[in-house]
Structure 1
Amino acid sequence: MKQVTIMAQVDPEKCKGCKTCEKVCPVYAIHVENRIATSDPMKCMGCANCADRCPFYAITMVERSEVKTVGIDVSKFDPQQIKDLCLKAHFNPEQVLCYCVGVRAEEVAAAILDGCKTPDEISLATGIRTGCTIECIQPILRLLTAAGIELHPDPKGWQWYGLTPTAWDLPEDVKNKYNSRGFYFDEDRVLLDEIAKGGK
């Protein structure tokens, strides 16, 4: 569970409507209309991306009057379905995917089982990708793909990135080329899968 204690507040006198804030918000909590940004406090996860990157210093992070709790109750979902989805994406269910917030693979899997189909929906449900907002897009995309959810680029042209190849995606010619140079791709895959199967 993530406790969100702050939220974005826009100063309309300073805002120039440049839309930088829109492009960096992981949950689409901030939008520009009539050249003024407004932030939805119900969606804002307090990551401060918008405030940190606003070129006009028009956004500040302010304390919430009430703490917002974000998280998903994994116990409400079939543990075998969660495990199967995590293993299909080559994750252990207890594996931490987001170190900033502490979100585990099982939580992302539960969010997908609960109907989340995009990274921003998963972030709103679990809190993942609302710390540094950078590192954990790949595990989200891997789990969505493992769930059979067809991913499409964000129509605005930002937020979603292509999947980074993993040990399971390398073509045979690449593996053969580098195996003689001290890389052990097939052995790594076996080891990583064994780690994923351990625990839950």
Structure 2
Amino acid sequence: MAFHEVRFPANLSFGSVGGPKRRTEIVALANGFEERNTPWAHARRRYDAGMGLRSLDDLSALVAFFEARAGQLHGFRWKDWTDYKSCLPSRAPAFDDQVIAQGDGVTGVFQLAKTYISGPGRYTRPIGKPVKDTVRAGVGGNEVFPDTHYQVDHAAGLITFTDAPEPGAPVTAGFEFDVPVRFDTDRIAVSVASFQAGEMPSIPVIEVRV
């Protein structure tokens, strides 16, 4: 098994159905109250790649991509059109979109991350597959620049600074990112007649940990 650093055609993922899935274990107590817990620290995303197909050419491109990944064997990148930026969908990523760490004067390598906040809830999602040439970074409120001040590992989502940020200095970043996934089936079943009649094949895709 390997992970291929190639993105599923973005024009085919546009229009697909999917999103995050959580696992919550609920125990009903005798007094009517509940105890709720989750074994997952992070959500796992699922999508249906078949919903984005619009023509026989699209279907041909999908089959070629599926065969090149050997079905479920190899992972790949997926653009989730509902959540692929460090900022709002209508904005361009900026160097101060996300606070990913606080400098300590020693650490120079940081994981990119995106934080989701709503009311008292707060969730920080590690970002492991940033899109090349979209990462911007800042230290202490000032933008710094690639090659001169830092390098990005686009396969792991790590940003390495030439000089460790000073103690207390906020380390920030903005970026676009993909979701690491694999096909969740080893079979594509579709007929040309049903496809032309508007019946879309179901081709499940599931997030993987890398």
Q: Shorter-normalised TM-score: what interval?
A: under 0.3
Q: TM-score, normalised by structure 1?
A: 0.24
Higher strand share: 2
Q: Which entry has the higher C-alpha Rg, 1 or 2?
A: 2
Higher helix share: 1
Q: TM-score, normalised by structure 2?
A: 0.23
Structure with more relative contact order (C-alpha pairs < 8 Å, separation 6 or more)? 2
